[in-house]
Structure 1
Amino acid sequence: MTDSKSARRSPGKRERLAAAAAQVLHEKGVEQTTLADIARVADVPVGNVYYYFKTKNELVGAAIDAHAQSLRSVIDALDELPTPQDRLKALLHGWIDQRELTARYGCPTGSLASELDKRDDGLAEAVAEVMRQLLDWAAQQFRAMGREEDSRELAIALVAAYQGISLLTNTFRAPELMAAEGQRLERWIDSLA
């Protein structure tokens, strides 16, 4: 009986640690984050972290997986909307809704990708895959709008605009920049239909 209770709790702690890692890495960056920081946010004793993750890099990998799962959940919800324009605009609105957080810490995935690119541990490729999934989904939306030939370029333009405005929003601590760029991108999407 104790074993089954333990088995049920284990995934919860691991998931909490992964989500906490994603949050703390976003707020503090990889180099400044300690396992104790993550354990505190996850409400897990720091000694228990090593039961689930042997190294900090494993925790960073779990944070990347958490980003991928979050993106998958967002995409699943967006895919319920009736038109590709609606889906792309809802993506923009999600980004705009996070503008205060972006002003403080930047884009969660983009910031992590930039930081991990400076390391030689293979984690940069994992976070690049998360970005690739977003690009692939956006390209699919543009194809559904009838933009077969330039769907990939349009997806890159959309994500690049978001990453760029995330950097500026964070640099100037100006959430209104994200809101204004979101409105411009919405008009751009309308012009492509």
Structure 2
Amino acid sequence: MTDSAKPKPKPRARASEKRRRLTAAAARVLHERGVERTTLGDIARAADVPVGNVYYYFKTKDELVQAALSEHSAQLDILTGRLEELGDPRERLKGLVEAWIEQRDVAARHGCPTGTLAVELDKRADGTLDAAVGTVLRQLLDWTAHQFRALGLPDPDDLAVTLVSAYQGMSLLANALRDPDIMTREGTRLLHWLDAL
């Protein structure tokens, strides 16, 4: 079948695909450039969508930020879903840390995708989106606490805060110092900590 003979996607499917591309591009570009330095045009170019089409799907930059946060949440669901396939909660937690280590170059360039948004959105006067970013961080904390709880450890919520705080700290330092090795060293320390619990 030639390209011209292939059935064309229906308008609704094309619209859904454009929205998905815009959402993924928003998550990536906002992480790389920050909210204030990113324009709708930047996101449209990254998504390979005409800039005028952005307004059809998202009326404001805040709506794109919300979409990016939804993308972060979806990516976290994918990661934790893969980790759930591991039989042991300790191995799941170690898999999470290993995933963080694998992202060391990205963290050194841009920081944690959700953490950097949290810091930036907290500085805004309206305060409407900082609660949304807190929801994504809460999702990570809850999943992590569940793993510690499954291990039968005392104070699983506190252990989750310790682990996620360590990630945020090492991500921040790797970014500020432009040193991905911080992620490797601190991640390795976290793996040993998990083994010792």
1:183 partner SS: helix
Match of 1:177 in 2: 182
1:112 aligns with 2:100: no
Match of 1:124 in 2: 130
Q: Which runs of 5+ in 1 are unaligned?
A: none
Task: Report the count of equivalent residues.
Answer: 190
Return the letter of the residue paired with 1:77: R
Runs of 4+ in 1 over 6 A off after TM superposition: none
1:74 aligns with 2:79: yes
Match of 1:28 in 2: 33
What is the alpha-carbon root mean square deviation over aligned residues? 1.3
User: What does the per-residue CA deviation read over 1:102-146, in whole Å, with 9 as the maximum and x for residues that have no partner?
Assistant: 000000000001101112241110110000010000000001111
Q: Shift in Å at residue 164 of structure 1? A: 0.3
Query: Hey, what's the Cα distance between the residues in 2 that align with 1:165 and 1:3?
Result: 47
TM-score (norm 2): 0.94
Q: Which runs of 5+ in 2 are unaligned?
A: 1-6
Match of 1:137 in 2: 143
Q: Shift in Å at residue 161 of structure 1? A: 0.3
User: What does the per-residue CA deviation read over 1:77-109, in whole Å, with 9 as the maximum and x for residues that have no partner?
Assistant: 111101011100110111000000100000000
Q: Shift in Å at residue 11 of structure 1? A: 1.0
2:10 partner SS: helix
Match of 2:107 in 1: 102
TM-score (norm 1): 0.96
1:10 aligns with 2:4: no
Query: Hey, what's the Cα distance between the residues in 2 that align with 1:185 and 1:4?
Result: 47
